[in-house]
Amino acid sequence: MLKCRSVWKKLAPLARASSTACRLNVRRAGLNNGRIPSCVPAAQMSTGPAGGGRQNQLYFLLVGVATVGGSVYAYRTVKGDQKRYQERIDEIASRPFKQAIEKPATPTQSEPPAAEATETEAVPEPEPQAAPSPAEPSPPAPDAEILAPVETTEPPPETPGDSTPASLKVPSHTPYLLIGGGTASFAAARSIRARDPNARVLIVTDEPVPPYMRPPLSKELWFSDDPSVTETLRFKQWNGKERSIYFQPPSFYINAEELAGAENGGVAVLTGKKVVHMDVRGNKIKLDDDTEISYDKCLIATGGVPRNLQVIERAGEEVVKRTTLFRKVEDFKALDKVSRNIKSITIIGGGFLGSELACALGRRSTESDLEVIQMFPEKGNMGKVLPEYLSNWTTEKVKREGVKVISEALVKSVVCKDDKLEIQLKDGRLVKTDHIVAAVGLEPNVDLAKSAGLEVDSDFGGFRVNAELQARSNIWVAGDAACFYDIRLGRRRVEHHDHAVVSGRLAGENMTGANKPYWHQSMFWSDLGPDVGYEAIGIVDSSLPTVGVFAKATAKDTPKAATEMSGTGIRSESETEDTATSPVASSTPAPAMVQHKDEYGKGVIFYLRDKVVVGIILWNVFNRMPIARKIIKDGEEHGDLNEVAKLFNIHDD
Amino acid sequence: MSYCKEEGKDRIIFVTKEDHEAPSNAELIADDPNDPYEEQGLILPNGDINWNCPCLGGMASGPCGSQFKEAFSCFHYSKEELKGSECIDNFRNMQECMQKYPELYPQEEDKESSSQAESGSGSVSAEPTEGSALPPETDSIAAASTSESAVSPDSMSPTDNQTAS
């Protein structure tokens, strides 16, 4: 609308001018016409009176002059407009971004040319992207600018006072822009490249490293024998093969400055840059160094930031510097170093990350004399995920890993005394430790919501997107930051690795025109030592009613055993040979008496919502995820869940 | 004998092997092979290649992606008696490209892919450097297309969850 108005404003004087010219013409003509009609009827029959001929000539001369005058005026107005508009654009481009989007892109006639001239002169150094590097052709840019002023703010090549090229590394435009350099982003990049031949994809991440996978940071990397693991970041997979946490080595990616010119396209990663502003109307973003990058399609995969406890944040610098919030590679490196130099470490939080780190550090405590404490408000580990009986059972296993578990613990205050941290719990207990790891949840990163005008979900946090992961026309969101509509299970936000892969891939597909909704249900898994491993899918919330179907466990039913035997194992395995600790049950069918000692060796747990299975945990049962996925996809009410459990053949190996 | 107990809202059933011997009477809805929402295998219902199949790892999206796509497409649509025999040039281009990125395409796979180019199975079986869990067998690729491809391990997961059986 603004554009229409401004265009009209631009055209109005022109229209006025031309209409004036017309009117003048008409009037002049009218003057003559006024006379001519009286003459013409009379002259129709003849060639006209000789005296009238001279008048005609005069008339035609006047009309001709008027027409010429009018067109000259029109021509000069339009040209002047263009020139003024160009100057305006240059001026806007060099102004701070914020001001630029407030003013309309096209100049208005009301702007005094004088003011513009002074502003143009006062233009500071144009933006770094002003001067395209010689290697980087930007043919669409100047054309696009004239035609679509709101598209880019690149100063055209004819900018007066062209400055020296600042950063050569950042392309000014990319067809596909992925904000965030994590799992979802990488999955999307791969998807885009697979579907759009020669696609040019730019990933912008504030981390100093290219995309990597997160699960090994709290599991496999800790079990590595290699003393240089913090440098190599390599771990052993289930199949014995080693790999790096990085999805691809650096040679996979192309340099950002080569992106525009790359014949077959490619994926470029811009590290150490944070996107601070997003202009949805202009289809462009701004980095923390004021560089602007425009895009055709954009993915927001900004993930999240670990939450902290308020009591720690307020406790002062001495406490804060002895606290780790664990998420990134640098956190892993720091924690590894710290854990080797202290005597006692406390993990606050009883969920996935907290429990995995506790077990990993607990294993380390057998080699050193590191005291590992884990505290959380729930009654047992994974209290919000596993039903109570299983949570209790898991907690016992965690304790066996060498962890001192303090359950039902609410932290009241933390102080630093004599280089030691003292954690005061609400029930009066006092815990003294050297270092704290806070694993109390993830805050989805929605910093861009404000500038981009994107909706944030109040229930789950994160950007609100539809079933196709779309927030706005050219913007998708995937991974931890996406609160999406799951057709089967309802609106949710999922913070797991496989979901990042699945949603990233789906977003990439939709960015290349697929228009598919979230349908393939992602799964997740966790291992807590060599005895406890499970895979899960769907909504796994301990507040839901559950039905668990278990078989008696034998020594064969452990994650480690599963990998060894079938060769197609799934679990990450521990490095210890400690299978002897797993209880070997009697092989006879268990009579009721023995059950109260309950060994939940292996089984299936169904989570129900209105009698429909919405979540399934496969407890020490592997290679069955497709069946679980199918049951959830069907969304049927099953009368007897024991019958459904039969589908999993839990007794088989 | 199965044994059941309740703990509040949670029900727990212990079952023996005998209890689960009888086939299940739980009903599952038949799958629609043409469901557009479902994840597709390597070969789409219309016969085209699904370049986004997780089973391919990063082959179609890496620096040699276009060469790979050309070579594999040529092979896939080849009607020759010796399938893919006219695609030698494409495979050679691909191999040359891959040699430029030894980190991404380790050298032993080049031997694999060149020998398999003869047999026409193409480099689809060549393991992407990410260490895909999928064993480099062409049969498993074909199987992956028929079985639930969701099952196909994506080399982006550090731990595999299923194999394409």
Tens of pLDDT, residues A367-389: 888 999 999 999 999 999 999 99
Helix axes A497-511, A183-195, angle to 10 degrees: 30
Question: What is the maximum alpha-carbon separation in chain B?
Answer: 68
Coil, helix or strand for A81?
helix
- Contacting residues of B for A190, CB less than 8 Å apart: 52, 58, 61, 156
What kind and span of H or E run contains B3? strand B3-7
State whether residue B151 sits within 8 Å of chain A by CB: yes
Strand A323-325 and strand A435-438: the pairing is parallel
Give, as one character, the DSSP assignment of residue B1. -
User: pLDDT tier at A556 (50, 70, 90 boundaries)?
Assistant: low
Provide the pLDDT for residue A382: 95
A520 → closest Cβ in B25, B31, B150: B150
Give, as one character, the DSSP assignment of residue A187. H
Provide the pLDDT for residue B119: 41
Across chain A, what does the average pLDDT equal?
80
B101 → closest Cβ in A197, A251, A592: A251
Tens of pLDDT, residues A259-316: 988 888 999 999 999 999 999 999 999 999 999 999 999 999 999 999 999 999 999 9
As given in the structure block, the two tokens for residue A380 are 């047992």
- Of A539 and A572, the structure prediction assigns the larger pLDDT to A539
Residues contacting B43, CB < 8 A, separation 6+: B49, B50, B145
- CA-CA distance, A198 to A483, in Å (whole number)? 31
Helix axes A50-94, A113-121, angle to 10 degrees: 40
- Positions of E strands within A256-315: 266-270, 275-279, 284-287, 292-300, 304-306
B156 → closest Cβ in A247, A571, A638: A247
As given in the structure block, the two tokens for residue A302 are 């900004």
- CA-CA distance, A22 to A284, in Å (whole number)? 44
Say yes or no to pLDDT of A543 above 50. yes
Half-sphere exposure of A277 (CA within 13 A, CB side): 17
B63 → closest Cβ in A252, A546, A638: A252
Tens of pLDDT, residues A236-258: 988 889 999 999 999 999 999 99
Q: Are A484 and A469 in contact (CB under 8 A)?
A: yes
**Predicted ipTM?**
0.74
In single-letter form, the type of residue at position A368 comes to S
CA–CA distances in Å: residue A583 to residues A392, A454, A554, A646, B27 = 17, 53, 7, 24, 35
- CA-CA distance, A175 to A196, in Å (whole number)? 11
Contact assignment for B65 to A629 by CB distance below 8 Å: no
Tens of pLDDT, residues A112-132: 444 443 444 443 333 333 333
Provide the pLDDT for residue A42: 44
- CA-CA distance, A213 to A370, in Å (whole number)? 28
Mean pLDDT for A5-32 is 56
- CA-CA distance, A262 to A540, in Å (whole number)? 45
CA distance A570 to chain B (A): 5
CA–CA distances in Å: residue B85 to residues A504, A521, B73, B77, B80 = 37, 40, 13, 11, 7
CA distance B135 to chain A (A): 10
The phi and psi torsions of A40 (rounded to 5 degrees) equal: -60, -55
Nearest chain A residue (CA) to B15: A551
Q: Are A360 and A451 in contact (CB under 8 A)?
A: no
Tell which residue, A305, A395, A361, A366, has the closest CA to residue A600: A395
State whether residue B6 sits within 8 Å of chain A by CB: no
Coil, helix or strand for A147?
helix
State whether residue B58 sits within 8 Å of chain A by CB: yes
- Of A485 and A12, the structure prediction assigns the larger pLDDT to A485
As given in the structure block, the two tokens for residue B68 are 């790979």
- Contacting residues of A for B52, CB less than 8 Å apart: 190-191, 194-195, 505, 508-509
**pLDDT per residue as tens, chain B (165 positions):** 678 899 899 999 999 888 888 888 888 998 887 788 888 888 888 888 999 998 888 888 888 888 999 999 999 998 888 888 889 999 999 999 999 888 888 765 544 444 444 443 333 333 333 333 333 333 333 333 333 333 333 456 654 433 333
Provide the pLDDT for residue A601: 86
**What is the pTM assigned to this prediction?**
0.71
Residues contacting B130, CB < 8 A, separation 6+: A243, A247, A248, B57, B58, B155, B156
Q: Name the residue with tokens 């406390």.
A: A346
B158 → closest Cβ in A215, A568, A636: A215
How does A553-572 read in b/e, with b if 16+ C-beta sit within 10 Å?
bbeebbbbbbbeeeebbbbb
- CA-CA distance, A557 to A571, in Å (whole number)? 12
Residues contacting B41, CB < 8 A, separation 6+: B50, B53, B55, B144, B145, B146, B147, B148, B149, B152
Contact assignment for B130 to A520 by CB distance below 8 Å: no
As given in the structure block, the two tokens for residue A152 are 């880019």
Tens of pLDDT, residues A583-613: 333 333 434 333 445 688 899 999 999 999 9
The residue among B1, B2, B20, B25 with the most chain A CBs within 10 A of its CB, best to mutate, is B20
Beta bridge partners of A346: A373, A436
- pLDDT > 90: percent of chain A: 60
Tens of pLDDT, residues B39-80: 888 888 888 899 999 888 888 888 888 899 999 999 999 888
Nearest chain B residue (CA) to A601: B14
Coil, helix or strand for A393?
helix
Provide the pLDDT for residue A9: 62
- Contacting residues of B for A246, CB less than 8 Å apart: none
- Of A162 and A400, the structure prediction assigns the larger pLDDT to A400
- pLDDT > 70: percent of chain A: 71
Give, as one character, the DSSP assignment of residue A620. S
Contact assignment for A547 to B156 by CB distance below 8 Å: no
Provide the pLDDT for residue A458: 96
